[in-house]
Amino acid sequence: MSKPRELSPVLERFLRYVQVDTQSREDVEAVPSTPGQLALAKLLAGELRTMGVPRVELDEHGYVMAAIPSNLPPGHPAAGRVPKVGLIAHLDTSAAAPGAHVQPQLLTYAGGDLRLPRDPSVVLRVKENPALKGLKGRRIVTADGTTLLGADDKAGVAVIMALAEELLAPGAPLHGEVRIAFTPDEEVGRGTSHFDLARFDADLAYTLDGDGCGELNAETFSADSATVTVHGRATHPGMAKGVMVNALRVLADVIVRLPMDLAPETTSGLEPFIHPHGAQGEEAKATLRLLFRDFRTAGLVEQRRRLEKILAEVRRRHPGARLELQVSESYRNMREGLEKEPRVTAALEEATRRAGVEPSWVPIRGGTDGSRLTAMGLPTPNMFAGGYNFHGLTEWLSVDALEASLRAARQLLPVWVELSDPSRAPATAAGASGAASPRRRAAAPRRRSPRSPASPSRRSSRPAARARRT
């Protein structure tokens, strides 16, 4: 790892924060679901107080909220007009790969495929990571091959913390009131379950939970979760003929009937999917957990009907079993809500350009806390933080992209001052007009699924989406 004197403040923070184990757990109802999240929350709250942030709150659920006052001088034309801007990142990391004892590896990328040091069978391949092609001679961070890295979302946490320190130092850019929030359990869908909008007190917000350099997100999946429960009948297997109803076999019949042309492994871009992601049980009772995902909220109804048809078929095949279906709302596509507040995306695109980065609007094949917050009335698009390959052993971070994220977040604040200044707003709005309705540029080409393409009107109006968390 490079010597500490070579580390920028944001990189130093990132390398420290990823070493705190904050994996969340779906099977724990408490929020936060793991003690490591609360440990990181306490660390961040303490660091914010040490910086001199005047209002820092940490609640029993692990939410950290802080407020930085405006530094606009008296008499400034935008004084009292600038909306309160929120910056949000999540504390937890995914449980999809080991997350304890993360050992970040900071290195200068020499080009080509990269074998990770603790497990050489784990290879960061250029073919799977085209962003590496432009980073030869630049610094990247990986894990050691035995854990995920945690850039999702420790990169966003580090950017916000580094920016907060800058805003309290002499020479800070002019800004209105800034709100900060760090949330628990985003990865298990509960990041906003105890989010107090009134206490946060922002007019708009941005999650720093995105991927590579310049990627901005104003559109996500709409999502529901489903649970199929099969009630069978257990008896001694030696005397089971005509008596036993094996719930596991019934559940297997459900799984094999799920359409493979609507699976995550066969879809990309804007195509929907139904994803069985967890099962457990025994002869008497078995359960299956599924994800419904579609960029059209109406498509979730279609997916539910398709699953209900499968269950009806399985009931006929296994008349002695009882099958139950429960469906719950997870989140909705943020696009509709954000289109009602065009300046929120306009400011983000303008800030990204001022940071020296070409913005690219990419729909997310997943969701963020911003999906729910936008539905709750707080418009919250997502911006990049520099990480790639989230949720796996080959997760990595571009140091250049991390630092570009900090520059873009820093630029957001004076952009909002200008947008709120009656003497400057028209010129600034003209400069950012392209973002009022985000121009969603196509992501890198992706493998097409074997199923029939969507209607031309739907496909032609949107680029391929970036594969992300569910």
- Decide if 455 is inside a domain: no
- Decide if 462 is inside a domain: no
State the catalytic residue, choosing from 21, 165, 185, 186: 186
Mean pLDDT of 69-80: 95
- Which of 262-284 are b and which e, b meaning 16 or more Cβ less than 10 Å from the residue's Cβ? bebebbbbbbbbbbbeebebebb
State the catalytic residue, choosing from 21, 92, 177, 418: 92
Q: Per mean pLDDT, which range of 27-36, 246-255, 270-279, 361-370 is the poorest?
A: 361-370
What is the spatial distance between Cα 115 and Cα 38, in angstroms, rounded to a whole number?
A: 33
Whether residue 357 sits in one domain with residue 286? no
What pLDDT does residue 453 have?
25
The yes-or-no verdict on residue 433 having pLDDT over 70 is no
What is the spatial distance between Cα 66 and Cα 86, in angstroms, rounded to a whole number?
A: 10
Tally of domains within the chain: 2
Whether residue 237 sits in one domain with residue 147? no
Average model confidence (pLDDT) for the chain? 90
Is position 400 annotated as part of the catalytic site? no
The yes-or-no verdict on residue 451 having pLDDT over 50 is no
- Decide if 326 is inside a domain: yes
Mean pLDDT of 68-82: 95
- Decide if 142 is inside a domain: yes
Whether residue 208 sits in one domain with residue 77? yes
- Decide if 450 is inside a domain: no
Whether residue 67 sits in one domain with residue 13? yes
- Decide if 456 is inside a domain: no
Whether residue 81 sits in one domain with residue 44? yes
Mean pLDDT of 44-61: 97
pLDDT by residue (tens digit) across 98-149? 999 999 999 999 999 999 999 999 999 999 999 999 999 999 999 999 999 9
Mean pLDDT of 78-92: 97
The yes-or-no verdict on residue 448 having pLDDT over 90 is no
Closest CA to 383 of 409, 358, 414: 409
Closest CA to 345 of 332, 355, 354, 335: 335
pLDDT by residue (tens digit) across 255-305? 999 999 999 999 999 999 999 999 999 999 999 999 999 999 999 999 999
Q: How confident is the model at residue 444 (pLDDT cuts 50, 70, 90)?
A: very low
Q: Per mean pLDDT, which range of 66-80, 103-117, 429-443 is the poorest?
A: 429-443
- Decide if 159 is inside a domain: yes
Is position 350 annotated as part of the catalytic site? no
User: What range does the domain containing 360 cover?
Assistant: 4-220+333-435
